[in-house]
Structure 1
Amino acid sequence: MLIVSAKDQRAILSVHEAIDAVSVSLQEFSAHRALSPIRTFLPVQKGNGTSIFMPSLVEATDSLGLKFVSVFPENGEKGKKTIYGVVILADVMTGEPVAMLEASYLTVLRTGAASGLATRHLARENARSLAVIGTGAQARGAVNAVTAVRSIDQIRLYNRSQQKAESFAAELTEQFGTTVEVIVAATADDAVSGADIVITATNSPTPVFSAQAIGAGTHINAIGSFRPTMQELPTDVIARAGKVVVESVEGALDETGDLLLPIEQGVFAPERIYAELGEIAAGEKHGREREDELTVFKSVGLAAMDVVVAKAMVDKAKALGLGVEVTL
């Protein structure tokens, strides 16, 4: 079995390669050529966290595996990461476990890649300004992917913790230099007002900005809400969006309050979900069609993305001589 650490993963796949892998996985899923059952959530009361189990099979890429990941929001107070996990891959011909990958970095990479893919198809071509609500690992992955597909020259950050926002701003300034202006906004509304693209990456149970702060033509990547009780986006934003896109209609309607709560309130309906992202990536449905269109990509994650990205990593790790072989 090949063990691939987060450190090795960072040297293996580029953001563009991850976006391409996610595109393949979502196209296969939307074409009903992949198996990704609704994931299993286990609430862990002692640590105030959630453990998630996600199996998937994507035969087109010989990707068979399971991701186990835990999200413990209070870990920062203990000097630990919010997300921990592993992905285990098996041989599609024999079922033999062949690789194990650290999953927190992989999760950040593939979640960011999904936002990059959505931005490629749904954001305006001339989008230049990016607002980011939340400054954790998922936000970093999404910023990297969005800036890979659009020529962003301004990033506005907001976090409830000014210190965390300032720290993230310093990281981005070091990363982009003078090519991107990085601003720490005083409020979430200040960050998103007039922004071409918005990323929300929080664990908030209530909307993180006001609906009136979002103008026409904005594209939103909402990647934080993954439980029915969590709602990052104002109900009115979902209600007036021209296109709401998800990875999996079934998964989104099972898991995210960003859609379930507006449905409960009678201002949105399941049939108003425009498309799965895989359908757009495959050219079966249009992406952005108007400059003034408000578009929303609501991501809850999909195990098909994990196993395809993991398989691409393992194949490339073997070619590069990275990872550690162990015998179980």
Structure 2
Amino acid sequence: MEGDQTDTRLASTLRFTPHRAEPVVLGEKEIAASGSALSVREVHDVLDQAWHDIRNGRALGHKSVLSLPEEAFWQEAGYQGRPVEFAGERLGWKLSCLYGANPEFAGVKVIGANAFNRHFGLRRSRSTYILMEKFSMQPIAIIDATALSAARTGAYASQVLGLCPIEKDQITVFLFGAGPVAKAILASLADRAAFRIGRVYLKARRVERAKALQASLSMTLPFDIVAVEDSGFLAEADFVITATNSDRPVFGDHELRRDACLLHLGGDEVPAETLRRILRQGQVGCDDLATVSRRNSQSLALQFSRAGSSLEALGPHLGILELSKTKDWRVQPGAPLSVTCVGLPVLDLYVVAALFQKYRASRET
């Protein structure tokens, strides 16, 4: 039978209607013009459903990454070695593919990234999502998901803060990073935890970036935000978030309060000493053991792989918890908590599908 013909006998028994139209292409301009961009609250609401489906086995996803050698980039770009302005920073020259499926949709997110892009006035990474009807696997839409990717990552901040056993009315947060994810973190905290936060200290590799982010948001956030040049105020922090492109730890364990809680969203940013201490004295967790372990780019996974083992193999025996398994962590009051989140691929599917459905609804009115 030809591909454009239908077996009416078989089709009559189907419980779904295959998608036949050409996929819609939604770039940033089309999303803005149609009013389809998701608010922070809408992102949180759809991610609540995503986590429910993940924990009940209704949503699946995986990630593949092709990391290209930095040495090859510098040579091919005409440099003798790594330029001094990239000292202490991951180039992150890679191609990533995140794919997932839920009860209604399937999809693939393709990410191209290179920190060198800032010298061209380009973003470090760009995400393109191909949304598909799940059963026929026909493409429905091709969507610029760069902003959505930052939003779904930033949403981890309020989710993890809700797990922290912090018994204070006004929490002090210390945020490392001043890029799109840092901005999304602040938006997430403002939407779901504004009443709990008194002040956020903001530190970036280049202090002018931290000051620029502070200036752009200070009049809109419901808590104080202060750009700082060093980690002097880290000792005051109840909740520490790392969201940088650093290739080494961004603080020393001695700089943290013993009961401070930590959310780790970047690469190898957390000292091994910190992770060992919290394993002994508090609770360590991640969004998903297998995904963090196999990606092997963050401090928690590297702690095990550098010793010849893996987080996936030893994590369950050490009591390391997973957001993908349960939301009831029951961390003891006053105990330190460290949570590493790599970003589960199927989360992108939910926010992209929600944006597409909002776009489709706008076209029908």
**TM-based fold match above 0.5:** yes
SS of 2:246 mapped into structure 1: coil
Alignment equivalent of 2:234, drawn from 189, 192, 216: 192
Query: Is 125-134 or 105-114 further displaced after alignment?
Result: 125-134
Query: Is 309-318 or 289-298 further displaced after alignment?
Result: 289-298
8 Å Cα contact 2:112-2:126 kept in structure 1: yes
Question: Deviations for 1:144-198, whole angstroms, at most 9, x for unmatched residues?
Answer: 112322232211111121211111111121322xx422222231x3242221222
Matched to 2:270, the amino acid is L
Gap runs ≥5 in structure 1: 226-230, 323-328
Query: Is residue 2:118 matched to residue 1:76?
Result: yes
Matched to 2:271, the amino acid is P
Once the two structures are superposed, the pairs formed by residues 44-123 of structure 1 within 5 Å of their partners are 45-46=72-73, 49-59=93-103, 62-122=104-164
**Using the alignment, how far apart are the partners of 1:320 and 1:83 within structure 2?**
29
Taking a change above 3 Å as real, the CA distance of residues 20 and 205 of structure 1, as seen in their structure-2 partners, is: same
Once the two structures are superposed, the pairs formed by residues 136-285 of structure 1 within 5 Å of their partners are 136-150=179-193, 151=195, 152-176=197-221, 179-187=222-230, 189-225=231-267, 231-241=268-278, 242-255=282-295, 256-263=297-304, 264-265=306-307, 269-271=314-316, 272=318, 274-281=320-327, 285=328
Which residue of the partner structure matches residue 4 of structure 1?
26
Query: Is residue 2:328 matched to residue 1:306?
Result: no
Taking a change above 3 Å as real, the CA distance of residues 27 and 63 of structure 1, as seen in their structure-2 partners, is: same
Query: Is residue 2:157 matched to residue 1:132?
Result: no
Query: Is 41-50 or 66-75 further displaced after alignment?
Result: 41-50
Query: Is residue 2:59 matched to residue 1:34?
Result: yes
Taking a change above 3 Å as real, the CA distance of residues 148 and 236 of structure 1, as seen in their structure-2 partners, is: farther
8 Å Cα contact 1:108-1:141 kept in structure 2: yes
**TM-score of the pair, normalised by structure 1:** 0.85
Question: What RMSD in Å do the two structures reach over aligned CA positions?
Answer: 2.5
Q: CA deviation at 1:266?
A: 9.1
Q: CA deviation at 1:89?
A: 0.6
**Using the alignment, how far apart are the partners of 1:237 and 1:127 within structure 2?**
24
Question: Deviations for 1:101-133, whole angstroms, at most 9, x for unmatched residues?
Answer: 112101101111223222223363635221111
8 Å Cα contact 2:63-2:96 kept in structure 1: no
Task: Tell me which of the two structures has the higher relative contact order, counting C-alpha pairs closer than 8 angstroms and 6 or more residues apart.
Answer: 1
SS of 2:96 mapped into structure 1: strand
**Using the alignment, how far apart are the partners of 1:186 and 1:265 within structure 2?**
34
Query: Is 161-170 or 126-135 further displaced after alignment?
Result: 126-135
**Using the alignment, how far apart are the partners of 1:128 and 1:266 within structure 2?**
38
Alignment length (residue pairs): 308
Taking a change above 3 Å as real, the CA distance of residues 75 and 124 of structure 1, as seen in their structure-2 partners, is: same
**Using the alignment, how far apart are the partners of 1:279 and 1:270 within structure 2?**
13
Query: Is 21-30 or 42-51 further displaced after alignment?
Result: 42-51
**Using the alignment, how far apart are the partners of 1:208 and 1:122 within structure 2?**
21
Which residue of the partner structure matches residue 22 of structure 1?
47
Q: CA deviation at 1:54?
A: 1.2
Q: CA deviation at 1:294?
A: 1.2
Matched to 1:205, the amino acid is D
**Using the alignment, how far apart are the partners of 1:259 and 1:104 within structure 2?**
26
Gap runs ≥5 in structure 2: 1-22, 78-90
8 Å Cα contact 2:165-2:334 kept in structure 1: no
SS of 1:232 mapped into structure 2: coil
**Using the alignment, how far apart are the partners of 1:236 and 1:83 within structure 2?**
31
